[in-house]
Amino acid sequence: MSRLKDLFHNKKQNVLNVYCTAGYPAIDSTIKVMQALQDNGADIIELGMPYSDPLADGPVIQASSGIALDNGMTIATLFEQLKSFRHKITVPVVLMGYMNPVLQFGFEKFCQYAADAPVDGIILPDLPEYEFETEYKAILQRYGLDFIFLVTPETSEERVRKLDNLSSGFLYAVSSSATTGGDTDFDAVEKYLQRLQSYQLNNPVLVGFGIKDKQTFNAACKYANGAIIGSAYIKALEGTDDVEATTTKFLDSILK
């Protein structure tokens, strides 16, 4: 059983996935941040691979990507950092990024390195479903990597079901058709999540975009298996010289 399957088998509700940017706030912060997240209650770590044109990300995550790139973070550097991370990190880890740098690295090579690390899943919001089915799905499966698709409130039921069938690990329910870090109308989100719940999908559902505190986390978890926090955590890390203390304070404010 994969780490993600195992997690959702044992924990059906209130699963917390926290996004962090590799190489932020410093080039050598990656493992420190991951360790602090695991130690303070994160169930999944979504590790962002910085890119100069991150279409789905709002200004906070864009800025962290810019800093990480200036720090010298690349996919090759990230995999170097992840070489022995499983000695410390036992929770599922998902890499989130964009196709351009992955293709420059080499898609199959990327999957091989990811599996060797090992990480558990991949999120590439700009990988079209047709290309996924015809070209990349077989490679991901060969290396035992889960692939997570995103759905939005505008996604039709037919397409939600299709993307659910193509996904493994979980389905990423974007709370609104905005970028990460924006404010969210949770009355509208509740209706959307109730609709997704009524489809009785194959995969667990995690809600992302606009989840920033205990109130929004609990609201998102009401009709989904859990939620994803990104921009609020990145903002908390800004300027910190103590990743552990900052992470403890931040996650305590969500979970306690």
Which of 43, 57, 120, 164 is catalytic? The answer is: 57
Give the model's pLDDT for residue 256: 93
Task: Give yes or no for residue 179 having a pLDDT over 60.
Answer: no
Give the model's pLDDT for residue 184: 58
Which of 28, 39, 43, 46 is catalytic? The answer is: 46
Alpha-carbon distance of 193 to 199, in angstroms, equals 10
Give the model's pLDDT for residue 53: 82
Alpha-carbon distance of 105 to 73, in angstroms, equals 13
Among this protein's residues, is 46 annotated catalytic? yes
Please give the residue that has the higher pLDDT: either 55 or 170. Answer: 170
Give the model's pLDDT for residue 173: 97
Alpha-carbon distance of 21 to 195, in angstroms, equals 31
Task: Give yes or no for residue 64 having a pLDDT over 60.
Answer: yes
Task: Give yes or no for residue 183 having a pLDDT over 90.
Answer: no
Give the model's pLDDT for residue 82: 98
Mean pLDDT for the stretch of residues 155-171 = 98
Among this protein's residues, is 57 annotated catalytic? yes
Residue 176's pLDDT band (boundaries 50, 70, 90)?
A: confident
Please give the CATH number for the structural domain made up of 13-255: 3.20.20.70
- The rounded mean pLDDT for the chain is 95
Q: Read off the pLDDT of residues 88-147 as tens digits, 9 standing for 90 and up.
A: 999 999 999 999 999 999 999 999 999 999 999 999 999 999 999 999 999 999 999 999
Residue 188's pLDDT band (boundaries 50, 70, 90)?
A: confident
CA distances from 30 to 36, 92, 148, 166, 238 (A): 10, 15, 22, 30, 14
Alpha-carbon distance of 154 to 45, in angstroms, equals 27
Q: Report the percent of the chain where pLDDT is more than 90.
A: 91
Nearest to 105 by CA among 124, 87, 120, 86: 124
SS3 label, residue 123? strand
Mean pLDDT for the stretch of residues 150-179 = 92
Q: Read off the pLDDT of residues 204-242 as tens digits, 9 standing for 90 and up.
A: 999 999 999 999 999 999 999 999 999 999 999 999 999
Task: Give yes or no for residue 56 having a pLDDT over 80.
Answer: no
Task: Give yes or no for residue 186 having a pLDDT over 80.
Answer: no
Give the model's pLDDT for residue 104: 97
Task: Give yes or no for residue 180 having a pLDDT over 90.
Answer: no
Domain boundaries, the chain: 13-255
